[in-house]
A and B are shown apart, each in its own frame.
Chain A
Amino acid sequence: MLLLAGTIPDKNMPLTFGEVSLKNGSLVADGRHFNRFQGTGAMISAALATTNYLHLKPPKVLVVGDIGDGQGSRELYRYLIDNIVDLSPEVFVMHYCLPIMTLMRQLCQAVRENDKKTVMVADAGAMYAAKGAELSSEFDIMTPDPSEIAFLADPKATHPAYIAEHLFECDASKIPDQIDAAFRNGSAAKLLLVKGKTDYIASGGNILATINEPDVPMIEAIGGTGDTITGLVSALVYSGMEPKEAAIVAAKTNRVAGELAKVTPATKVAQLIDQFQSVFEKHLCQWSEVCCK
């Protein structure tokens, strides 16, 4: 099972678990509809596009409404703490949620009790919680953007809003140093995919790959284009790719989709996601042995 968990910006959305599908442009799980907006919706939509193309089982999703007060996030954590061993997903993604370190500790403790290996992916609030709780190394993949790698590199910060100003001010050429610092601090997952003008894939403090092309700088302004990378890499790992290869393919896919969509800063993330099938059709067999089956 590919399990994708996160909050949805609809305070009336109850905790919902089920297989996800796309109907008339919106996502549906257990009969409840939610949008492909920035955040968990974009991440899920990207993963679903990937599993559909590869004829894999669609992801199972665990979503709940939360507009920031944390009530939904707490429900999400508690459900996972109680059920993650029974669910026993092959790949588990924790995404937008309030970063609550106490509950993240309990969740990681529950995951440790599972005999079966789960590939753990964190981004957004879940990544903040993992770093704050000093549990980053229990995750297999994290997908920070440049401000978030600065946060992971700062041993004192418990939220990106509190990163030391010299780390925020530094130019992109310093990102490899920040990646190194994040690994030395124990604030990095086993593999980092740092999303930015150059995408870095790193493990154990070493840069394994960089992706620069195609250069589509306007992608940075589009809300949700980092979330799509998280969804892509997770679904590709679920397909059987090694995390490093999945990270490279995910980064390339997002860039080429941006180019195909001819994005501007006003483009909505769904327009980018709608290009993924074309990107896979044209490039996936060249980029990877995991091809359309």
Chain B
Amino acid sequence: MKVALGKGKVAFKGDGIIIFQEVSHAIQAEKLIRKYGYEVKLISPPPELRKGCDLALEINLVESHGIERILKKDNTAFVSINPLMKGTADLCEIVKTTDYGQWVMVKAGNMKITFAKNSGLVVNVSGGGCPDIPYLHAEMVDKRLDEAPSPKDLGYTLCAVMLDLAFQESIRLWNGGNN
């Protein structure tokens, strides 16, 4: 039995929220985000997240990085992007390293980047589950840290944000541990 498209369609329910200062900004952003094919819904923000506007946008949090870039490119003002769920933790920003002798693996959240200590060559990218990660793997591996693209510039998702954390720490370590 073929399931018809739209049968049993479930209303969009996201897990992220964009807060705006002005109602007009939220409306403008909603049109813009929808134009790029993202799912989005205008909602009233919960009291604890209200920052001067009673209109917000519900989005898939995992898409926040791509959406943020669209808004910035269009100069659409917004206050912040947050998890919608009450009490959800902030971004996990702990970074860990593993020394493999000639190589170092840097891990941030679910993402890992491994580079050669002497040359700074990125030899592997691992972890994650979003579609930009295999793309970033292809774009970054076999490039030196100072030649590889920044995951935040090429990526769209929270996985890319976490990989960027690991990437920035890798650059810092390769530069002798200094910023």
A: residues with CB less than 8 A from B are 7-9, 35, 37-41, 66-74, 78, 81-86, 96-102, 105-106, 109-110, 113, 123-128, 132, 145, 147-148, 151, 154, 156-165, 168-169, 217-218, 220-226, 264-268
CB neighbours of A74 from chain B (8 A) = 37
- Contact, CB under 8 Å: A100 / B39: yes
Are A266 and B87 CB-contacts (below 8 A) given A96-B133, A113-B3? Answer: no
* Nearest B residue (CB) for A38: B137
- Contact, CB under 8 Å: A106 / B10: yes
CB neighbours of A38 from chain B (8 A) = 125-126, 133-134, 137
Are A68 and B114 CB-contacts (below 8 A) given A159-B62, A265-B123? Answer: no
CB distance from B7 to the nearest CB of A (A): 8
Partner of A39, one of B4, B112, B114, B133: B133
CB of B52 closer than 8 Å to a CB of A: no
CB distance from B101 to the nearest CB of A (A): 9
| Interfacial residues of chain B within 136-154, with CB under 8 A of chain A in the complex | 137-138, 141, 154
- Contact, CB under 8 Å: A164 / B131: no
Bound-state CA distance A164–B109 (Å) is 10
Bound-state CA distance A125–B160 (Å) is 13
CB neighbours of B109 from chain A (8 A) = 147, 160-161, 163, 168
Bound-state CA distance A74–B129 (Å) is 15
Are A123 and B92 CB-contacts (below 8 A) given A41-B134, A160-B109, A221-B103? Answer: no
- Contact, CB under 8 Å: A154 / B132: no
CB of B162 closer than 8 Å to a CB of A: yes
CB distance from B163 to the nearest CB of A (A): 10
* Nearest B residue (CB) for A109: B8
Q: Mark B1-45, 1 if CB is under 8 A from A, else 0.
A: 111110011111111000000000000000000001111000000
**Chain B, interface residues (CB within 8 Å), range:** 35 or more
- Contact, CB under 8 Å: A162 / B92: yes
* Nearest A residue (CB) for B161: A161
CB neighbours of A110 from chain B (8 A) = 3, 8
Q: Which of B63, B66, B131, B160 has the most CB of A within 10 A?
A: B131
Partner of B92, one of A98, A109, A163, A265: A163
Bound-state CA distance A71–B66 (Å) is 12
Are A158 and B134 CB-contacts (below 8 A) given A78-B5, A84-B3, A101-B13? Answer: no
- Contact, CB under 8 Å: B94 / A266: no
Are A86 and B129 CB-contacts (below 8 A) given A99-B60, A157-B88, A165-B92? Answer: no
* Nearest B residue (CB) for A158: B15
Partner of B88, one of A66, A85, A98, A158: A158
B: residues with CB less than 8 A from A are 1-5, 8-15, 36-39, 60-63, 66, 83, 85, 87-92, 94, 98, 100, 102-103, 105, 107, 109-110, 112, 114, 116, 123-135, 137-138, 141, 154-162
- Contact, CB under 8 Å: B134 / A98: no
A-B contact pairs, 20 of them (CB 8 A): A7-B131, A9-B131, A68-B130, A68-B132, A69-B66, A73-B131, A78-B5, A81-B3, A83-B3, A96-B131, A105-B10, A123-B129, A127-B129, A128-B129, A148-B110, A160-B159, A161-B158, A162-B92, A221-B112, A223-B127
- Contact, CB under 8 Å: B89 / A157: yes
Bound-state CA distance A83–B7 (Å) is 12
Interface SS, B side = loop
- Contact, CB under 8 Å: B138 / A9: yes
- Contact, CB under 8 Å: B3 / A82: yes
Bound-state CA distance A157–B154 (Å) is 25
- Contact, CB under 8 Å: B137 / A220: no
Partner of A9, one of B14, B89, B137: B137
Bound-state CA distance A39–B13 (Å) is 27
Q: Which of A71, A123, A132, A267 has the most CB of B within 10 A?
A: A132
- Contact, CB under 8 Å: A113 / B1: yes
CB distance from A262 to the nearest CB of B (A): 14
Bound-state CA distance A98–B154 (Å) is 16
CB neighbours of A151 from chain B (8 A) = 110
CB neighbours of B141 from chain A (8 A) = 223
CB neighbours of B105 from chain A (8 A) = 220-221, 265
CB neighbours of B126 from chain A (8 A) = 38, 220-226
